[in-house]
Chain A
Amino acid sequence: MARALINAPAKAKHGEAIEIKTMISHTMETGFRPDSTGRPIPRDIITELVCRYNGEEIFRAELFPAIAANPFLTFFTVATESGTLSFEWTGDNGFSATESVNITVE
Chain B
Amino acid sequence: MTRADGMSQRTRRRFLVETAALAGAAGLALRLDSDPAGATPASMQAAIRNVAGEAKLNKGRVKIDVPALIENGNAVPLTVSCESPMTQEDHVKAIHVFTEKNPQPNVIGVRLGPRAGRASVSTRIRLADTQKIVAVAQMSDGSFWSDEVEVIVTLAACLEGA
The answer to whether A62 touches B110, judged by C-beta atoms less than 8 angstroms apart, is yes
Smallest beta-carbon distance B67→chain A, Å: 14
Q: Which residue of B lies closest to A74 (CB)?
A: B122
Q: Taking A66-B125, A66-B126 as contacts, is the C-beta distance between A60 and B111 under 8 angstroms?
A: yes
Q: How large is the interface on A (under 10, 10 to 19, 20 to 34, 35 or more residues)?
A: 35 or more
How many A-B Cβ pairs are below 8 Å?
109
The answer to whether A77 touches B117, judged by C-beta atoms less than 8 angstroms apart, is yes
Instruction: Check if A34 is an interface residue, CB within 8 A of chain B.
Output: yes
The answer to whether B123 touches A71, judged by C-beta atoms less than 8 angstroms apart, is yes
Instruction: Check if B23 is an interface residue, CB within 8 A of chain A.
Output: no
Smallest beta-carbon distance A94→chain B, Å: 22
Instruction: Check if A59 is an interface residue, CB within 8 A of chain B.
Output: yes
Q: How many residues of B contact A (CB 8 A)?
A: 37
Whole-angstrom CA separation of A68 from B97 in the bound complex: 14
Instruction: Check if B53 is an interface residue, CB within 8 A of chain A.
Output: no
The answer to whether B125 touches A68, judged by C-beta atoms less than 8 angstroms apart, is yes
The answer to whether B160 touches A66, judged by C-beta atoms less than 8 angstroms apart, is no
The answer to whether A60 touches B110, judged by C-beta atoms less than 8 angstroms apart, is yes
User: B56-90 interface mask toward A, CB cutoff 8 Å, 1 = contact, 0 = none?
Assistant: 00000000000000000011100100000000000
Seen from chain A, the residues whose Cβ lies within 8 Å of a Cβ on chain B are 16-18, 30, 32-36, 38, 40-41, 53, 56, 58-69, 71-78, 80
Seen from chain B, the residues whose Cβ lies within 8 Å of a Cβ on chain A are 36-37, 74-76, 79, 99, 102-104, 106-113, 115-127, 157-162
